[in-house]
Amino acid sequence: MEISKGYTVHLFEGLYCYLRRFLFRVISVGAVPYHIAFIMDGNRRFAKKMNLAEGEGHKAGFSALLSILRYCYELGVKYVTVYAFSIDNFKRKPKDVQNLMELMRQKIEELLHQESIINEYGVRLHFIGNISMLSEPVKVAVDKAMRVTAHNNHRVLVICVAYTSRDEMVHAVEESCKEKWSHLTQEPSKVVKNDKLNGLFENKIEKHSVLPSSCYCSCSCSLVKLVDVERNMYMAVAPDPDILIRTSGEARLSNFLLWQAGTCPLYAPSALWPEIGLRHLVFAVLNFQKYYLYLESKKEKKHKHKLF
């Protein structure tokens, strides 16, 4: 009886897999999103809803992540980005933060197992954010994961940890200013002339001269351009997302990809993150295809703005 039941389950799983891939072939006749981003909201509410311990909700969320990654990669999506841990989450109780750090370390290790989806699809891992804020064991696991998967080039998974978009923008501006300052001090033979700078100054850099600290903002920062800032973004490892999906019905970005999500549609299903399924992804992609030409025209305008 058990053998017969196991055979039936295996048969239905195979049939489901076949039908899913057939569905993806049909969908692929239209435009397939290159990059999908997810805000994985609702793990704790799911645990409460199902009368589970809080940590069990995040474990269920990890299982949901593996399923949604498989669907995305089968469909042909190249980049997937997930919002795993916000800087604001560090404001929680120290014990809760510690438990989440340990769970994160365990799940990173699971991703690197030989039979994991990462190895099955040749996925390269990028962990982005203020990594210095993570616990030491997690930092070690993050470094190992990026090093071990660095040779993979078929798919990319970007995991945002200790991340907020405002922190990313501040970091990008700071790095851009450092680059410009370094360039100015390394090439002192060039003359930089700003007539009536701020209505008060005229600054000149003569050969072998060194700029005083007061000129840092007025000279170097004035030379920072949009392309410099975007190059120094944490998310420079991936193109802007085509779709942003946030579960639990919350139609807000919560400080996630504020810079990059200007032209992508937001889909907010009411399902909590552990409840996300194939139908939610399919609906989001069909909606993307419906407005594809309009979205592409917006991207072209954005690109022209960058050039000029």
Q: 38's torsion region: left (phi>0), alpha (psi -120 to 50) or beta?
A: beta
Contact indicator for 156, 126 with CB cutoff of 8 Å: yes
How far is Cα 93 from Cα 29, in angstroms, rounded to an integer? 49
| Alpha-carbon 256 to chain mean position | 8
Sheet of 79-86: strand order equals: 123-128, 155-163, 79-86, 35-39, 243-246, 266-267
Please confirm, yes or no, whether 41 is among the known catalytic residues.
yes
| DSSP classification of residue 30 | S
Q: 162's torsion region: left (phi>0), alpha (psi -120 to 50) or beta?
A: left
From 41, 195, 240, 242, the catalytic residue: 41
| Alpha-carbon 296 to chain mean position | 21
Active site residues: 41
